[in-house]
């Protein structure tokens, strides 16, 4: 009986020893949780960075002139997970706005109300509309699960309604369980 | 008694890490991976700053090309090749530096890029700001 008690105590200590206390992690680092079934914060960064780089090196964007006016159009989340699309969009529009490469139309209601009462104020017409879709595909083989998240973005020229740039970035994750880090 | 032993063994297995490949085993017995850098130079060419020699011996930087887009922004392409016999995963990121050496912009986080044995991949970085002159590529093993 005493033997069982000491074993029980030993096991309890071992289980406690296996637990990981919460710590702060660099959100841009390599020790983040990798989830198989959902889009992680680093997936938005990865897809957003790839999209941004593809867009700025495209001939259409490069020759669009200084600071073209862009409006964000319809961006659809067709995945099973509900998330705020600004997690993706801010990775693309943020660096462009901060570098002065685009002028982004903001439909903030407070700003709109203030503009309405400002004589002579007018919103510039957008030259381009950024639109997109996020999709997912799941597959499994035995215990191994795989999920692919497909990020699609396109830049539409307003005066012609023609797509002048589009890009698809797929983030695929595979495993039997969620993990920490890469 | 036997049940306790079994439970202990199960717990031990749950807490241990499964080593799947020779490369994983090698990673487990070597120090933590360091970040390697390739930095373009104003006079042309590039400078390598290697912290993880093990990874650097497997992935070779073949060439670096610097040019300007039609809009006048600097663009750099880095060609890398997996010279090992195993699949490698390289993670990339980059920063841009102006003529005075200050960091002007950068790509946050890491972009994972699997590399099959012998495969060449090209990492392209295009500056968003006109004062971004040189590119510093970050490379980290899986």
Domains observed in chain B:
34-141 (2.60.40.3230)
What was the pLDDT predicted at A122?
86
Query: A41-56 and A86-98 are packed helices; what angle lies between their axes, rounded to 10 degrees?
Result: 40
Choice between B15 and A126, residue whose per-residue pLDDT is larger: A126
| DSSP codes of every residue in B12-81 | HHHHSPPP-SHHHHHHHHSPPPPPEEEEE-TTSSEEEE-S-HHHHTTEEEEEEEEEE-TTS-EEEEEEEE
Min CA distance, B22 vs chain A (Å)? Answer: 17
Closest CA to B128 of A64, A20, A46, A96: A96
d(CA B10, CA B16): 10
- Other C-beta atoms lying within 10 Å of the C-beta of residue A137: 12
Q: How far is CA A109 from CA A22, A36, A71, A114, in A?
A: 39, 38, 15, 9
Which of A65, A95, A149, A171 best tests the B interface by mutation, with the highest count of B CBs <10 A?
A95
Cβ–Cβ below 8 Å for B70 and A4? no
Which of B109, B112, B123, B135 best tests the A interface by mutation, with the highest count of A CBs <10 A?
B109
Q: Where are the strands (E) in A52-143, listed by range?
A: 69-77, 103-104, 128-141
- Contact list, A96 vs chain B (CB under 8 Å): 128
CB burial of B67-96 (b: ≥16 within 10 Å; e: otherwise) equals eebebebbbbebebbbebeeebebbbbbbb
d(CA A148, CA A171): 6
> In terms of CATH architecture, what is A32-107+125-180?
3-Layer(aba) Sandwich (3.40)
Instruction: Tell whether A53 lies on the interface with B, counting CB pairs under 8 A.
Output: yes
In total, chain A counts a number of residues equal to 182
In the predicted model, is pLDDT for residue A5 greater than 80? no
Cβ–Cβ below 8 Å for B8 and A50? no
- Contact list, A10 vs chain B (CB under 8 Å): 8
Instruction: Tell whether B3 lies on the interface with A, counting CB pairs under 8 A.
Output: no
What pLDDT, in 10s, does the model give residues A8-65? Answer: 666 665 555 668 788 899 888 888 999 999 999 999 999 999 999 999 999 999 888 8
Tell me: ipTM over 0.90. no
d(CA B45, CA B28): 35
- Contact list, A3 vs chain B (CB under 8 Å): 1
What was the pLDDT predicted at A181?
82
Cβ–Cβ below 8 Å for B107 and A62? no
Cβ–Cβ below 8 Å for B107 and A8? no
Closest CA to A136 of A125, A151, A126, A122: A151
- Closest by Cβ to B75, choosing from A7, A57, A95: A57
In total, chain B counts a number of residues equal to 142
Cβ–Cβ below 8 Å for B126 and A95? no
Q: How far is CA B110 from CA A27, A43, A170, B58, in A?
A: 11, 10, 15, 19
The percentage of residues in chain A with a pLDDT greater than 70, rounded to a whole number, is: 90
Q: 3-class SS at A12? A: helix
pLDDT (average), residues A97-111: 93
pLDDT (average), residues B75-94: 94
The conformation of residue B99, written as its DSSP 8-state character, comes to T
Instruction: Tell whether A148 lies on the interface with B, counting CB pairs under 8 A.
Output: no
Lowest mean pLDDT among A26-35, A41-50, B71-80, B121-130: A26-35
Cβ–Cβ below 8 Å for B108 and A49? yes
What was the pLDDT predicted at B38?
95
In the predicted model, is pLDDT for residue B62 greater than 90? yes
Min CA distance, B47 vs chain A (Å)? Answer: 23
Residues whose CB falls within 8 Å of the CB of residue A10, separated by 6 or more in sequence, listed in order? B8
Lowest mean pLDDT among A6-15, A71-80, A81-90, B74-83: A6-15
Min CA distance, B120 vs chain A (Å)? Answer: 18
What was the pLDDT predicted at B73?
94
Residues whose CB falls within 8 Å of the CB of residue A12, separated by 6 or more in sequence, listed in order? none
How many Cβ pairs within 8 Å bridge chains A and B?
69
CB B11 within 8 A of CB A10: no
- Nearest chain B alpha carbon to A97: B128
- Nearest chain B alpha carbon to A45: B109
Cβ–Cβ below 8 Å for B69 and A62? yes
């Amino acid at each position: 009986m005493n033997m069982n008690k000491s074993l029980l105590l030993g096991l309890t200590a071992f289980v406690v020893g296996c637990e990981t206390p919460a710590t702060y992690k660099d959100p841009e680092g390599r020790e983040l949780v990798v989830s198989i079934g959902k889009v992680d914060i680093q997936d938005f960064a990865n897809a957003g960075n790839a999209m941004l780089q593809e867009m700025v090196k495209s001939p259409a964007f490069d020759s669009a002139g200084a600071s073209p006016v862009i409006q964000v159009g319809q961006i659809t989340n067709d995945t099973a997970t509900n998330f705020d699309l600004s997690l993706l969009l801010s990775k693309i529009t943020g660096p462009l706005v901060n570098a002065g490469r685009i002028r982004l139309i903001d439909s903030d209601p407070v700003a709109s109300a203030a503009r309405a009462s400002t004589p002579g104020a007018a919103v510039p017409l957008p030259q381009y509309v950024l639109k997109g879709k996020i999709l997912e595909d799941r597959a499994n083989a035995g215990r191994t699960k795989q999920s692919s998240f497909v990020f699609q973005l396109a830049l539409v020229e307003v005066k012609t309604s023609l797509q002048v740039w589009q890009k698809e970035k797929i983030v695929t994750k595979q495993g039997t369980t969620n993990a920490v880090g890469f | 008694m036997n049940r306790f032993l079994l439970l202990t063994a199960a717990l031990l297995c749950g807490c241990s890490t499964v080593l799947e490949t020779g490369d994983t085993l090698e990673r487990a017995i070597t120090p933590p991976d360091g970040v390697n850098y390739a930095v373009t130079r104003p006079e042309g060419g590039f400078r390598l700053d290697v912290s993880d020699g093990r990874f650097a011996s497997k992935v070779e930087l073949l060439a670096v090309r610097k040019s300007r887009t039609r809009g006048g922004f600097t663009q750099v392409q880095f060609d890398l090749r997996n010279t090992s016999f195993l699949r490698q995963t390289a993670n990339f990121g980059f920063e841009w530096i102006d003529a005075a050496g200050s960091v002007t912009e950068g790509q946050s986080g890491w972009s994972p890029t699997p590399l099959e044995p012998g495969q060449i991949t090209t990492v392209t970085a295009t500056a968003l700001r006109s004062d971004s002159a040189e590119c510093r590529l970050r490379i980290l093993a899986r």
